[in-house]
Structure 1
Amino acid sequence: MTDTATDPASAAAGGPAVLRPHAEVAFAAELAALEAHDAEEGRPRPPRWRLSPWSVVTYLVGGTLGDGTVVVPKYIGSRRLMEVAVATLVTDRALLLLGLPGTAKSWVSEHLAAAVSGDSTLLVQGTSGTAEESIRYGWNYARLLAEGPTPEALVASPVMVAMERGALARVEELTRIPSDVQDALITVLSEKVLPVPELGREVAARPGFNVIATANDRDKGVNDLSSALRRRFNTVVLPLPTDVEDEVRIVTTRVADLTASLSLPPVSTAAEEIERVVTVFRELRSGVTADGRTAVRSPTATLSAAEAISVVTNGIALAAHFGDGVLRPADVASGIVGAVVKDPVADQQAWQEYLDVVVRERPGWGAFYEACQDPG
């Protein structure tokens, strides 16, 4: 992501700088280069897709094009997994990205929509209060009372707009939406129509329409999908990073993006502390030290790459604004304790045990151990 203070995409569009531009804006140059590459190679594109399936996957996992354009990876992991996800969108099945919090489900969803439709904004954000109108349609009640049910009084949902355009609609946190509201998707996904009985008509999906949903089953407040709705999806499970190098790379890349977008001053030794935070999270998550010799108790927190990114970014802000510009163990200590200790009793016991058994005995980690004893 570019520094939004001088974001070239925003400047080119003549609009004000924004903190977080949409994917299709932030990576407009890459998308245009991939589009030109498709034309040169003659790669087939499904109806109303901006890019070919091959180019969509390349946009996600990165690569170098024939003209030398470098496409940076947005997803660090299995290319085959992204190929399966993109292939699903070519069919009449919807795509469900399933995984633990912090496994880049929303990130992948946004970039898929940007690469396929050129628009990642047709979004339904799932919460316990999401109403059926968010998936089907609603009404401008002032006009409804004045005119009755007319096309002008109808307020289309993002899903309806996507059907009319032949584009991708995104549904974030599908399992947080109440079950009866979830099932409003069944007719849309199976029949590819959305009835509007008040107007005596229906909206039929144009070629190119599909739905990408994200979900996890670890958070509280989850509503299981009905079997009828689950059958309408192909599920792709996004795993946690398999090795420490990949996870360090993910955290390093996203921290660089965030520090640039937040205009944080550069700091020294970030790489060393990133590796330390990732190591701690992986060991606590897996219940064993990296060398496999010592078992540790896992806390209740997920401790994904997303939490590691937050801890490091907060530490950089402390080092830049309240320190000497060098990221030190004390700068990440308070953040890492807050990420690990969610239950003040059980998690605190597990964390203190990890500090005493593992961290205190690890060469070169003395300053981190002391900082974690008094993170305030």
Structure 2
Amino acid sequence: MSNLREHAETLFASELEALAAHDDKPRPDQWKLSPWAVTDYLLGTTLADGTVITPKYIGDRRLMEIAVATLATDRALLLLGVPGTAKSWVSEHLTAAVSGDSTLLIQGTAGTGEEAMRYNWNYAMLLAKGPTEEALVPSPMFNAMKDGKICRVEELTRIPSDVQDTLITILSEKTLPIPELSSETQAVSGFNVIATANSRDRGVNELSSALQRRFNTVVLPLPSTLDTEVDIVQSRVASMKQALSLPAEVPALEEIRRVVTIFRELRGGATVDGKAKIKSPSGTLSTAEVISVVTNGLSLAGHFGNGSLNAHDLASSMVGAIVKDPANDPGVFREYLETVVKERDGWKDLYRACREQL
């Protein structure tokens, strides 16, 4: 029985080993790779012996260099962007390449408490023996400090402000006080934090100015061009198809291009040629949702069709992704279908399939 999704350091172990073998540049203390090699791992390259390192992030190299360089300083890294801009994906792969362990993860929610950032107690032992080191249950942050690794904090702005502020001492003093034991844990070399935040969550739990100063912020943008977004979707869909063992053919590039075009136009409020303005629905319409639409279409084609992705397989998932507000979004999408999709050569099948779903 195989795992549904392997951690990055397991899935790409051979690539990480090959990079380490060819890496002759300086490495910060306890880093598995040099900053240069970490960036090559993220963006992809071909090594001197012909080993191909697949790209994990398709975008501006300078952004990744800034992110990696930040982790080699005493500043933590905040990856900021709208939903679907690969913040969590980049965070996982950065951590895998730097620390060799992406599992030290704190998932931020409105219910995240201080113990998730600091430590908890085994209450049976606490009642029996009082506060002791044996009774202490370390958090991922605690373990990252102790072992000199990177801790990931997902959706930082979803965490209540008073819990966020427990990070201030950790990031500024590199210590975690344990008042119950009259002691502290000091971070060792290699420790740092990568946090992610949704830019649309501003106003939920804003970071205090004191905490903001402890982070260097890198904004991950949506793909800048249609071709870039198509490349991202094609790569991720291929890997998802393999991981899920979907019994369908790899989708034709033209099918992916059509879906990406629709999402980009609705997201941007204009056709790709800039000749017509269109209304935008309420949803984000991110690249991650395009990947989900195409993958779900492949599942329909493989399990309930002939194994070849077609317009009907795409339409049901596409409508579900675009129509979030039942009061307004159906009209917006219907108008787009009539004024744009219907008029395009070779798009009649997609037009009819989407109309049937509305």
Q: Give the structure-1-normalised TM-score.
A: 0.93
Does residue 1:93 correspond to 2:78, yes or no? no
The aligned amino acid for 2:314 is V
The CA deviation string for residues 133-172 of structure 1, in whole angstroms up to 9 with x for no partner, is 0001110111101110000000111001000011100000
Q: Residues 334, 220 of structure 1: CA spacing in aligned structure 2 closer, same or farther, 3 A cutoff?
A: farther
Q: Is the Cα–Cα contact under 8 Å of residues 299 and 346 in structure 1 kept in the other structure?
A: yes
Does residue 1:147 correspond to 2:129, yes or no? yes
Does residue 1:259 correspond to 2:245, yes or no? no
C-alpha displacement of 1:270: 3.3
Q: What's the secondary structure of 1:252's corresponding residue?
A: helix
Q: Is the Cα–Cα contact under 8 Å of residues 194 and 202 in structure 1 kept in the other structure?
A: yes
Q: Is the Cα–Cα contact under 8 Å of residues 330 and 375 in structure 1 kept in the other structure?
A: no
The aligned amino acid for 1:311 is V
Gaps of 5+ in 1: 1-15
Map of 2:21 onto structure 1 = 36
Q: What's the secondary structure of 1:203's corresponding residue?
A: strand
**Larger CA deviation: 68-77 vs 220-229:** 220-229
* Aligned match for 1:330, one of 312, 327, 345: 312
Q: What's the secondary structure of 1:218's corresponding residue?
A: helix
Distance 1:300 1:286 in 2: 12
Distance 2:299 2:260 in 1: 18
Q: Is the Cα–Cα contact under 8 Å of residues 251 and 298 in structure 2 kept in the other structure?
A: no
User: After the TM superposition, which residues 193-204 of structure 1 pair with which residues of structure 2 at under 5 Å, given as runs?
Assistant: 193-204=175-186
Map of 2:213 onto structure 1 = 231
Distance 1:345 1:214 in 2: 32
The aligned amino acid for 1:34 is L
Map of 2:267 onto structure 1 = 285
Map of 1:9 onto structure 2 = none
Map of 1:19 onto structure 2 = 4
The aligned amino acid for 1:157 is S
Q: What's the secondary structure of 2:101's corresponding residue?
A: coil
Does residue 1:74 correspond to 2:59, yes or no? no
Map of 1:300 onto structure 2 = 282
Gaps of 5+ in 2: none
Q: Is the Cα–Cα contact under 8 Å of residues 132 and 181 in structure 1 kept in the other structure?
A: yes
Q: What's the secondary structure of 1:202's corresponding residue?
A: strand
Distance 1:175 1:235 in 2: 13
* Aligned match for 1:65, one of 43, 47, 61: 47
* Aligned match for 1:103, one of 80, 85, 88: 85
Distance 1:127 1:269 in 2: 36
Does residue 1:245 correspond to 2:227, yes or no? yes
The CA deviation string for residues 348-371 of structure 1, in whole angstroms up to 9 with x for no partner, is 121111111111111111111111
Q: Residues 306, 149 of structure 1: CA spacing in aligned structure 2 closer, same or farther, 3 A cutoff?
A: same
The aligned amino acid for 1:264 is L
C-alpha displacement of 1:17: 2.1
The CA deviation string for residues 85-143 of structure 1, in whole angstroms up to 9 with x for no partner, is 00000000000000011000000000010000000000001111111100011101111
Q: Is the Cα–Cα contact under 8 Å of residues 48 and 208 in structure 1 kept in the other structure?
A: yes
Map of 1:163 onto structure 2 = 145
Distance 1:47 1:211 in 2: 16
C-alpha displacement of 1:217: 2.6
Q: Give the structure-2-normalised TM-score.
A: 0.98
Q: Residues 226, 36 of structure 1: CA spacing in aligned structure 2 closer, same or farther, 3 A cutoff?
A: same
* Aligned match for 2:347, one of 365, 370, 374: 365
C-alpha displacement of 1:271: 2.0
User: Aligned residue pairs: how many?
Assistant: 358
User: After the TM superposition, which residues 162-181 of structure 1 pair with which residues of structure 2 at under 5 Å, given as runs?
Assistant: 162-181=144-163
Q: Is the Cα–Cα contact under 8 Å of residues 268 and 325 in structure 1 kept in the other structure?
A: no
